[in-house]
A and B are shown apart, each in its own frame.
Chain A
């Protein structure tokens, strides 16, 4: 049996001295789509940030392995080069940096890390135009500073565009559905689905079942109080929708 793509084992994380994750374990195989669902404050965002390597998250116990390697020892950019991608719940605005420059810098950083020649401006523009077309993004957006003045939908589409360019082995989508109307949600979901492949996986972190109607998961996990309290197939999300978090968590306890 091949090693799982992502293996989180007994993860304990504190933020400002408060324990947020309390022994979380989760294994994602190649090609699988997992959903982690949980109420507010259950540790969903902490999980995504710890995987991506944001500062301020103190791992006190446990491990995170990606393709067998210790992720926690890697810098955020190294995790990205290795094939991890976090689609942010609140994508950052970066005034003064054009979106196209940002995308090209990121894309070429990946090429460089993999020992491939960097793409020049023209070649990159051709590539990025293919991707924007598929995602229904106007070229005009590429000229604007990263996420500055973007609507909620545009910001999320920009996240998916980055994902489409970087083609990660594992995409972590942190509440990608928040702040999206149904049309924007469909576009985003289509973008994610277009990337589905036998060797690519996704971890969809969400509060609501809604997104999972469009990105159908293979496995669903309920996160409560820093731990996975229940796991199941896609029907678990539907059960959750019917019963609500409180009942489901009580049953699991």
Chain B
């Protein structure tokens, strides 16, 4: 059992709260989750996977209570409205982890497709179906944060697409963190299931305001049946003082395709962890991201792609720009099972450091047990290319504009991994906005 400090108050009041948490059928799972959490507590740098992201230290600065209930304030409502698009097949809005029914709508959802909130689903008398999927992808894990999530989860989104159905527009999930006076934590659980040959695009926007610290410990379980195709895009522009650990576990069957991209652009700490299992032959995983950090922001991308079947393809492409004393972490691993012959695995991480105080810790790993595979990995970190900068300036492009052009060009390679044109353009525009702030700030300094 971990000591009190490492539990960060997350075990307190659990037994008393248990009966009030949604889904009686989950009581056992919640208790097991809490036990797993209590065994090790919040991970710190002594845990190998958290060596570069000392979550224990980040969390120790605050006392996290439960998320306040309340209304979406005017400013946030405006931002939420601006995120919508006429093409959306469905839109769910979560405020501090809880579904806001008034702001959610399911305008263009094909017959048979389920999009709902987890709490609502659990409240139904027959809470089987999707709820039965909870925990099946992550399995019975010893993982301390997944355990914590299992113990406290209240709400999240559920998406179930039956076999053969292609959802026509994006399913938009907007997570709003609206901080109050006191620090709080939420533990959302999301479930995505696509039947055979089904396809869907999910766009998650994580936005937030300024205020006390918040800790988001989210877990997403993805199951893709044979030939299914999921595009999962996330824009992480959370609360200014937000600490977000977003974990996605995906199980990808034969011929299915999983595409994920995270733009980590806001919030104090972000850790995006993906565990993708290519379980059937010719499955594909495209896991990409762009990360932008300044001040003392912390950007962690941790990926494990597990090739368990032959002829699968995986790509990991992560590029980031770090300024001031921002810190980036990239831990990428390709693990190839003995049976996974003809694996094509590729991994790339590049960081651009705009100041001497910025730092990247990159840990690319290959673990290969098959003998007929093609795997590559590469990690680089560096400054803006001085020769390229001079070349642009010698053509009359002012230094600031030249730097900006080179930074944008650098990130373009990562954004090119996004197969949806609309999302790529929008994420590109968000990067532009960040750049404008970045360089106007530098010009002012």
Chains A and B belong together in one complex? yes
Residues of A within 8 A of B (CB): 52-55, 75-77, 79-81, 85-86, 88, 91-97, 101-102, 105-106, 109-110, 113, 145, 162, 166
- The answer to whether the Cβ of B58 comes within 8 Å of any Cβ in the partner chain is no
State which of B166-174, B262-270, B393-401 sits at the interface with chain A: B393-401
Q: From residue 392 to 412 of chain B, which have CB atoms closer than 8 A to chain A?
A: 392-399, 401-402, 405-406, 408-412
CB <8 Å contact, A55 and B397: no
CB <8 Å contact, B387 and A92: yes
CB <8 Å contact, B395 and A80: yes
Contact (A97, B396) CB under 8 Å given A88-B391, A92-B391: no
Chain B interface extent, by class? 20 to 34
Most buried by A among B386, B390, B394, B401: B394
CB <8 Å contact, A166 and B409: no
Residue of B nearest to A84 (CB): B394
Contact (A80, B396) CB under 8 Å given A94-B406, A96-B409, A96-B412: yes
Residue of B nearest to A76 (CB): B393
The residues of B that contact A101 with a CB separation of less than 8 Å are 405
Q: How far is the CB of A72 from chain B (nearest CB, A)?
A: 15
Question: Which of A55, A93, A145, A162 meets B395, CB within 8 Å?
Answer: A162
The residues of B that contact A96 with a CB separation of less than 8 Å are 408-413
Residue of B nearest to A98 (CB): B409
CB <8 Å contact, A55 and B390: yes
Question: Which of A81, A88, A92, A95 meets B396, CB within 8 Å?
Answer: A81
Q: From residue 371 to 386 of chain B, which have CB atoms closer than 8 A to chain A?
A: 385-386
- The answer to whether the Cβ of B388 comes within 8 Å of any Cβ in the partner chain is yes
13 pairs, CB–CB < 8 Å, chain A vs chain B: A53-B390, A77-B398, A77-B399, A85-B394, A92-B391, A96-B411, A96-B412, A106-B395, A106-B397, A109-B395, A109-B397, A110-B396, A113-B396
CB <8 Å contact, A97 and B397: no
The residues of B that contact A52 with a CB separation of less than 8 Å are 390, 394
Contact (A76, B394) CB under 8 Å given A92-B388, A109-B401: yes
Contact with A along B3-36 (1 / 0, CB 8 A): 0000000000000000000000000000000000
Question: Which of B386, B392, B401 meets A55, CB within 8 Å?
Answer: B386
CB <8 Å contact, B409 and A97: yes
Q: How far is the CB of A155 from chain B (nearest CB, A)?
A: 12
Question: Which of B405, B410, B411, B413 meets A105, CB within 8 Å?
Answer: B405
Q: How far is the CB of B153 from chain A (nearest CB, A)?
A: 41
The residues of A that contact B405 with a CB separation of less than 8 Å are 97, 101-102, 105
When A and B form their complex, which 5 residue pairs have the shortest distance between CB atoms, in order from nearest? Answer: A96-B409, A80-B396, A106-B395, A76-B393, A92-B391
Residues of B within 8 A of A (CB): 385-388, 390-399, 401-402, 405-406, 408-413
The residues of A that contact B391 with a CB separation of less than 8 Å are 88, 91-92, 94
Residue of A nearest to B408 (CB): A96
Contact (A77, B396) CB under 8 Å given A91-B391, A109-B401: yes
The residues of A that contact B396 with a CB separation of less than 8 Å are 77, 80-81, 106, 109-110, 113, 166
Tell me, in angstroms, the Cα distance from A92 to B389 when the chains sit together.
10
Q: How far is the CB of A115 from chain B (nearest CB, A)?
A: 14
The residues of A that contact B398 with a CB separation of less than 8 Å are 77, 109
The residues of B that contact A81 with a CB separation of less than 8 Å are 396
Tell me, in angstroms, the Cα distance from A195 to B422 when the chains sit together.
44
Q: How far is the CB of B261 from chain A (nearest CB, A)?
A: 17
Contact (A80, B410) CB under 8 Å given A55-B386, A97-B405, A105-B405: no
CB <8 Å contact, A105 and B406: no
The residues of B that contact A97 with a CB separation of less than 8 Å are 405-406, 409
Tell me, in angstroms, the Cα distance from A94 to B408 when the chains sit together.
11
Residue of A nearest to B393 (CB): A76
The residues of A that contact B410 with a CB separation of less than 8 Å are 96
Tell me, in angstroms, the Cα distance from A102 to B393 when the chains sit together.
11
The residues of A that contact B393 with a CB separation of less than 8 Å are 53, 75-77, 80
The residues of A that contact B394 with a CB separation of less than 8 Å are 52-54, 76-77, 79-80, 85-86
Most buried by A among B390, B396, B401, B409: B396
Tell me, in angstroms, the Cα distance from A79 to B397 when the chains sit together.
11
Tell me, in angstroms, the Cα distance from A76 to B392 when the chains sit together.
9
Tell me, in angstroms, the Cα distance from A80 to B399 when the chains sit together.
12
CB <8 Å contact, B399 and A75: yes
CB <8 Å contact, B395 and A95: no
The residues of A that contact B406 with a CB separation of less than 8 Å are 94, 97
The residues of B that contact A76 with a CB separation of less than 8 Å are 390, 393-394
Q: How far is the CB of B191 from chain A (nearest CB, A)?
A: 37
The residues of A that contact B386 with a CB separation of less than 8 Å are 55
Q: How far is the CB of B49 from chain A (nearest CB, A)?
A: 32
The residues of A that contact B402 with a CB separation of less than 8 Å are 77
Tell me, in angstroms, the Cα distance from A102 to B397 when the chains sit together.
9
Q: How far is the CB of A47 from chain B (nearest CB, A)?
A: 15
Tell me, in angstroms, the Cα distance from A105 to B388 when the chains sit together.
14
Tell me, in angstroms, the Cα distance from A237 to B399 when the chains sit together.
39
Q: How far is the CB of B395 from chain A (nearest CB, A)?
A: 4
The residues of B that contact A102 with a CB separation of less than 8 Å are 392, 395, 405
Most buried by A among B391, B406, B410: B391
Q: How far is the CB of B342 from chain A (nearest CB, A)?
A: 29
Q: A55-B386, A94-B409 are in contact. List 17 more A-B contacts (CB 8 A).
A: A54-B390, A55-B390, A76-B393, A76-B394, A77-B396, A77-B399, A92-B388, A93-B388, A94-B406, A95-B413, A96-B410, A96-B411, A97-B405, A105-B397, A106-B396, A145-B409, A166-B396
The residues of B that contact A94 with a CB separation of less than 8 Å are 388, 391-392, 406, 409
Q: How far is the CB of B432 from chain A (nearest CB, A)?
A: 13
Residue of A nearest to B391 (CB): A92
The residues of A that contact B413 with a CB separation of less than 8 Å are 95-96
Q: How far is the CB of A105 from chain B (nearest CB, A)?
A: 6
Q: How far is the CB of B420 from chain A (nearest CB, A)?
A: 20
Tell me, in angstroms, the Cα distance from A76 to B411 when the chains sit together.
25
Q: How far is the CB of A52 from chain B (nearest CB, A)?
A: 5
CB <8 Å contact, B401 and A95: no
